[in-house]
């Protein structure tokens, strides 16, 4: 018997008196639940198998949105011995990480009596680039392979032979800045491969200023108690007929109405139905142990994803090859964070990067995107609160 009627809603109440934006807390809760489910939980769909692992990355300009603060409660939960979550080291070589994954193997008895063997590991790092390193393509390739939960993945060494790993499952939850994403990932990785499997959760600023943030210790205990029940779940999930119809209708709609026109997100859009299906498992677990996914769970998963997608492109705005790609990214973050500023203020902040002539043309480009309004007679720049980069 659980103590919270909905784990995600209760987690949002737990973090209500903290500064990070709601969207960060929401996806912290999702990642925490995913870490507890591991590969021992699965949703069969035709000839496909969906496992509840996700690669969630909180993105914000440095010091603006309290990324690390948002992750703290999740880290505290997942480090509890009672949950027995295998967490990767925060800074580790590729070889060590592979050994950690191999050593994470466990066997669990499902509710139908079957033994489930799996190697499940969660990467939890508030400074993601410390974990990824710089120009580390082999690790990026490994993470790409592991996302798809292969039945068997083999690591071959020159001197020590082969290390087969069965039933791979890796969940990734990290945080970084748009600038560090661009420097840690090679240009060829942006838009495909690993990044097409990542959910970039962007926020420009903290929710509000709270001098004395706090968490309710009683609610925190209740949430941990429920996680201890959730981590025991194993076996196959099923869906109601209504959920199956809802997924079918959304799949057909999504195929004809992609959320982004930018080519950099084309591979991400191809994986969107898989992402929503994974999320629906988590939404089900947030409210019940019965492993029956209802239409409301699927629709809630869609709502979560669509909400995140509204500002998702801002995480990669500087990843292009244009001369001003990086500057535009920083300029957008500055304007979105301040909501209102002046041309003089922006010129001072970007005095080492652009001339006044260049700044005015960059602002004209942002205005054409309906990102902001540049009032020429007063030199004011106003952020468009309804901006969406779809």
- CA separation for the pair 298, 296 (Å, rounded): 5
C-alpha span between 266 and 284 (Å, rounded): 28
Strands 41-45 vs 115-125: parallel, antiparallel or unpaired: unpaired
Q: What is the pLDDT of residue 216?
A: 96
- State the Cα angle at 225 between 115 and 211, rounded to 5°: 135
Q: Indicate the pTM of the whole model.
A: 0.84
Q: Which residue has the tokens 């480009």?
A: 365
> Which superfamily, per CATH, for 7-316?
P-loop containing nucleotide triphosphate hydrolases (3.40.50.300)
Give the span between the Cα atoms of 166 and 18, in whole angstroms: 41
Q: How far apart are CA 387 and CA 372, in angstroms?
A: 8
**Of 85, 79, 100, nearest in space to 146 by CA:** 100
Domain coordinates of the chain in residue numbers?
Answer: 7-316, 325-383
Query: What is the spatial distance between Cα 390 and Cα 373, in angstroms, rounded to a whole number?
Result: 19
Please name every residue paired with 175 in a beta bridge, in sequence order, or none if there are none.
Answer: 58
CA-closest candidate to residue 74, choices 201, 175, 194: 175
d(CA 381, CA 211): 29
Range 253-262 contact pairs with CB under 8 angstroms and sequence separation of 24 or more: 259/306, 259/309, 259/390, 260/309, 260/313, 260/389, 260/390, 261/390, 262/313, 262/389
Rounded CA-CA distance 92/121 in Å is 14
User: Rounded distance, CA 166 to CA 164, Å?
Assistant: 6
Closest CA to 71 of 116, 110, 123, 109: 123
pLDDT at 187: 66
Q: What is the pLDDT of residue 102?
A: 93
Fold of 325-383: Arc Repressor Mutant, subunit A (1.10.10)
| Integer Cα distance of 130 and 145 in angstroms | 20
What pLDDT is recorded for position 159?
67
In sequence order, the 6+-apart residues with CB closer than 8 A to the CB of 208 are 19
Taken as a whole, the chain contains a residue count of 390
CA-nearest of 128, 181, 137, 229 to 325 is 181
CA distance 170 to 142: 10
| Contact yes or no for 90/131 (Cβ under 8 A) | yes
Q: For 224-251, b where at least 16 C-beta lie within 10 A, e where not — what string?
A: eebbeebbebbbebebeeebeebbeebe
Q: Supply 208's token pair.
A: 């509000």
How would you write the pLDDT of the chain (390 residues) with one tens digit per residue? 899 999 999 999 999 999 999 999 999 999 999 999 999 999 999 999 999 999 999 998 888 789 999 999 999 999 999 999 999 988 888 889 999 999 999 998 766 677 889 999 999 999 888 888 776 788 889 999 999 999 999 987 766 678 899 999 999 999 998 878 877 777 666 767 888 999 999 988 888 899 999 999 999 999 999 999 999 999 999 999 999 999 999 999 988 888 887 778 889 999 999 999 999 999 999 999 999 999 999 999 999 999 999 888 777 765 554 556 678 878 888 888 888 999 999 999 998 888 888 898 889 888 887 889 999 888 899 998 877 544
């Amino acid at each position: 018997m659980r103590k919270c009627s909905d784990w995600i809603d209760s987690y949002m109440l737990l973090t209500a008196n903290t500064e990070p934006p709601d969207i960060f807390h929401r996806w912290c809760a999702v990642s925490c639940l995913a870490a507890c489910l591991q590969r021992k939980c699965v949703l069969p769909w035709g000839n496909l198998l969906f496992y509840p692992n996700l690669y969630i990355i909180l993105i914000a300009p440095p010091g603006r949105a309290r990324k690390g603060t948002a992750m703290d409660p999740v880290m505290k939960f997942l480090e509890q011995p009672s949950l027995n979550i295998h967490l990767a080291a925060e800074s580790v070589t590729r070889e060590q990480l592979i050994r950690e994954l191999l050593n994470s193997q466990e066997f669990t008895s499902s509710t139908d009596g079957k033994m489930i063997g799996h190697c499940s590991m969660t990467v939890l790092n508030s400074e993601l680039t410390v974990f990824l390193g710089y120009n580390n393509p082999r690790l990026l390739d490994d993470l790409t392979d592991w996302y798809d939960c292969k039945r068997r993945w083999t690591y071959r060494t020159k001197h020590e032979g082969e290390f087969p790993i069965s039933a791979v499952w890796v969940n990734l939850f990290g945080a970084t800045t748009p600038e560090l994403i661009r420097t840690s990932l090679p240009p060829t990785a942006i838009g495909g491969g690993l990044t097409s499997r990542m959910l970039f959760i962007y926020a420009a600023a903290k929710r509000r200023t709270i001098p004395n943030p706090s968490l309710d210790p009683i609610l925190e205990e209740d949430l941990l108690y429920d996680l201890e029940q959730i981590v025991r779940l194993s076996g196959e999930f099923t869906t109601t007929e209504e959920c199956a119809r809802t997924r079918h209708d959304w799949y057909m709609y999504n195929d004809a109405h992609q959320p982004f026109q930018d080519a950099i997100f084309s591979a991400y859009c191809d994986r969107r139905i898989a992402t929503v299906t994974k999320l629906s498992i988590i939404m089900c677990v947030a409210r019940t142990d019965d492993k029956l996914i209802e239409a409301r769970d699927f629709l809630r998963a869609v709502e979560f994803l669509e909400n995140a997608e509204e500002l998702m492109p801002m995480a990669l705005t500087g990843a292009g090859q244009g001369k001003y790609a990086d500057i535009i990214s920083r300029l957008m973050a500055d304007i979105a964070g301040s909501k209102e500023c002046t041309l003089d203020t922006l010129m001072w902040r970007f005095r080492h990067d652009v001339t006044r002539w260049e700044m005015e043309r960059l602002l004209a480009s942002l205005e054409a995107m309906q990102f902001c309004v540049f009032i020429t007679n007063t030199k004011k720049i106003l952020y468009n609160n309804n901006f969406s980069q779809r």
